[in-house]
Chain A
Amino acid sequence: MAKAKIDLNRVAMPKQEAGARRQNFSEVATGYTAEDAKREASRCIECKARNCVAGCPVAIDIPEFISAVKTGDFTAADEIIKRTNALPGICGRVCPQESQCEAVCTLAKKKAPVAIGRLERFVADWEPGYRLKGSTGAKAPKSCKKVAVIGSGPSGLTCAAELARLGHSVTIFESLHVAGGVLMYGIPEFRLPKTIVQTEINFVRSLGVEIVLNAVAGKTFTIDELFKDGFQAVFLGTGAGLPLFLNIENENAPGVYSANEFLSRVNLMKAYHFPEFDTPLKVGKEVAVVGGGNVAMDAARSAVRLGARVTVVYRRGREEMPARLEEVENAEEEGINFLFLTNPISFQVNDQKWVSGMTCQKMSLGDPDASGRRRPVPVGGSEFTLPCDMAIVALGTRPNPLIARSAPGLAFASAGTVIADESTGLTRKAGVWAGGDIVTGSATVISAMGAGKAAARDIDRYLASL
């Protein structure tokens, strides 16, 4: 029998056209139709290697779910995914598949990996409309063991879902008025709709997880108090929220925002609906965004949608940008200007003390630094001033100090991150695990989920030993 020819063309993701999407916060990529999904799924050769599963931090049964999509059995596909991943609509949208499952797909060698992320997203989006019943997958009998999960971001939700499935009684404590953490305050609606996040959180609730809002670890309660209240294990998934700044002149001038403030106002507080929503937002006409990661892209693209002309200033080159290529391309299509090899050295203010410009210098790339990327070196005499009436600093974050101040027994690294075992998340404090950005510093949604899952398994073993 002749070998079937493999289609090397991935089914394109339908997207809002750049001119239109600059005017709205609706999702940029509109998602596969059922036909698109079946066509793309049929490209999977169901190879024996199953590299994709190994490439997925939460080990979704990828070939199995794709096979179900091929036959049009989307409900089965959903059940297969949900066995290992409670948050597929989120992962299908924000995971860097190109460097995970899709990178190791057998077809990747022919530069045509199966669009696993798009298929996952399709299945997740199909599910709420067609099958409204609660939890999927068998639940273990009740263990009567109580676990507290601190933080309702990706690591906390994943850890909680996994423990609930194993029969434990899980309570999530969240400091904000809504669950979801960075998925709610950090990632814009046009990349991750908030209804998708809340639908998946409701799925986690349907597994029996209780979520207590407005409860701040280290302020409203301490970890030791949780143990006194009868919790037998604690998972810390509080993320890395504290924004880093450049520490240059006039950086605290009004008009200079941290990306977290700007994105929180927009995403969490819905300031783009001001004044229907009460939280105000100031958006300049000329906005400078400092940084080259996904958060910088999110801030820049949000500002464009709010009517600004935006320049992203990054100290290395386009190749070195940590942002996902897809998001950089989206940003370019949306008219965002990029100044590479450029670094801010001070801000200027007007007579109202509001920011009026950002003085930068050009950089060149020297030898690799500790991060493995070539170190940017200032070019003498290259200073110039970029006029702007707003600047957004997106340099990354580190864990906030509340946990450290309130949990004796935890050990911390110099960057403020919690020291935890790499494979289990166990910290130096008995009965306490940690995972996600609080351990690694700012990273990805999926790596945080992987850590939440690994910790859940270890917590389960620990609870069994009690």
Chain B
Amino acid sequence: MYSIISTEELVPRVRVYRISAPRIAKKAAAGQFVILRVDDNGERIPLTIADWDVVEGSVSVVFMEVGTTTTKLSRLKAGDTISDIVGPLGNATEIDNFGTVCLMAGGFATATIMPIARAMKAAGNRVITIVGARNKDLLFWRERLSAVSDELIITTDDGSAGRKGVVTEPIKEMLERGERIDRVIAIGPSIMMKFSALTTKPFGIKTIVSMNPIMIDGTGMCGCCRVSVAGQTRFACVDGPEFDAHAIDWDNFMARQRSYIEEEKRSLEICRCPSG
């Protein structure tokens, strides 16, 4: 059993949990993930590592309450335990002094871009971070991101904070006016990552995305996290989770992500009303 050290609601339905897991904390690096199981009947779900603390022996994960597992997780408080957490899994983000790095985050991926921004800054890059959200109430960690970014751009769908529009617009403008960007890392919903890839492709900017497919074991065994990259089958858990965004078959990926939509709805209804 692994105990939850603290819980914090960042914005409605998005929470960050610090979980005691010393072995994982010792090894964690930016870009990696963990797989956790809330209870004995629980499924195994992957969550990106948002932070870690070797001294305390903890890792932090950020999740949005959408499905059964995240709903069960959201009911837990500090001091409660989860059955299992394993990691750190996947390859760490390639960190180097690339020059200018543009980090793009959609929705609650703001949390997962944070350690990457920090590491990129520490490696001597000029870091431009673009964060997109539906409205100002869904933004969080602006100060934290500011502290590790040379430039922080906010976009909201309704214009309630930052500039009105989608997350791909600022980078498109930068590239059109000839600003030099050496690498882009985009993390967020599949559709946001797909459009980030489409935006940078004409400019030939190396663009990395962090794939978040359905997984079970996370160690290269089940094969359900497979992603078609440049016509090859790759496993997000052991070959990824980060891949060249321009080589991914996005339509196939998004179709795979929809595999269990009906089952997830059914499961969630039961989870939300346990007595029924």
Interface residues of A (CB under 8 A from B): 175-177, 185, 213-216, 219-221, 241-243, 245, 247, 251-255, 257-258, 260-261, 264-265, 268-270, 274-282, 352-354, 400-402
Contacts and interface: CB of A to CB of B under 8 A. Distances in A.
Contacts of B258: 254, 352
Sorting the interface of chain B by its residue count into under 10, 10 to 19, 20 to 34 or 35 or more gives 35 or more
Interface of B: 23-24, 27, 37, 41-44, 68-69, 72, 83-89, 216-217, 219-224, 226-228, 233, 235, 238, 249, 251-252, 255-256, 258-260, 263-264, 266-267, 270-271
Given A185-B217, A241-B217, A252-B249, 6 more contacts: A219-B87, A245-B233, A277-B43, A278-B271, A280-B263, A400-B221
A254 B255 contact: yes
Contact of A214 (B86, B220, B263): B86
Given A216-B86, A219-B27, A254-B255, A402 B228 contact: no
Contacts, number: 131
A261 B224 contact: yes
Contact of B217 (A175, A274, A281): A175
Contacts of A185: 217, 221
B interface secondary structure, majority = mixed
A282 B261 CA distance: 10
Contacts of A265: 216
25 contacts: A177-B44, A185-B221, A215-B86, A216-B219, A219-B88, A220-B87, A221-B23, A241-B217, A241-B219, A251-B233, A252-B227, A253-B256, A258-B223, A261-B222, A264-B217, A264-B222, A268-B216, A274-B263, A276-B41, A278-B69, A278-B267, A279-B43, A280-B43, A280-B267, A281-B263
Given A177-B37, A214-B84, A280-B263, A242 B23 contact: no
Contacts of A257: 223-224
A264 B221 contact: yes
Given A275-B266, A278-B69, A216 B87 contact: yes
Contact of A253 (B43, B87, B255): B255
B23 A220 contact: yes
A interface secondary structure, majority = loop
Contacts of B267: 274-275, 278, 280
B86 A177 contact: yes
A119 B222 CA distance: 34
